[in-house]
Amino acid sequence: MTRSASILAIALVFALAGCSGGDTPVEHSASDRDAGHTSSSAGLPNGHIDAGEKLAHTKGKATGQSCVDCHGEEGNAPIDASYPKLGGQYYDYIAHSLQQYRDGNRTHALMSQQAKDLTDQQIADLAAYFGSRPTHLRDLHGVNN
């Protein structure tokens, strides 16, 4: 390779690297970035079970309800059969669900209200707490409807 051809090749590598968008994943909307929100559980800070437990029992300002008011103690005793159990659910599943509700990608009249003001740290803490509880999750094998 001639000297000028190598310089061109190096310049091309830098140009391509520049197009990959740095450390902000492309799926982040401008409003997510402004709010300091991540949209993937992979980008969350470490969750703390103790902080998550406290928050799960704290009534939210907007609704006057806490997580356990609806999902029950340890997320395992929902007040309505149609409300999901959370105890022992995968950390990533809980965290990502909360991110999706918060960011409006998953919507539900009750849950969207619960999630809209959560910070990344709070989501990580709640996921760590509920994920650490005993699981009562089951598949629908043998259920007749």
| Interacting residue ranges for ligand HEC, rule: CB under 6 A | 65, 67, 69-71, 83-84, 86, 94, 97-98, 108, 110-111, 114, 126
Q: Which two tokens stand for residue 31?
A: 């409003």
Of 134, 85, 66, whose CA–CA distance to 97 is shortest? 85
CA 138 – CA 53 distance, rounded (Å): 23
Tell me the closest approach of the beta carbon of residue 117 to ligand HEC, in angstroms. 9
| For ligand HEC, the closer CB: 12 or 62 | 62
Tell me the closest approach of the beta carbon of residue 64 to ligand HEC, in angstroms. 9
Cβ neighbours of residue 45 closer than 8 Å, sequence gap 6 or more: 120, 121, 124
Tell me the closest approach of the beta carbon of residue 43 to ligand HEC, in angstroms. 17
Sign of CA dihedral 14, 16, 17, 22: positive
| For ligand HEC, the closer CB: 32 or 69 | 69
Angstrom CA distances, 34 to 28, 29, 31, 37, 40, stand at 10, 9, 5, 8, 16
| For ligand HEC, the closer CB: 8 or 50 | 50
| For ligand HEC, the closer CB: 20 or 107 | 107
Tell me the closest approach of the beta carbon of residue 31 to ligand HEC, in angstroms. 21
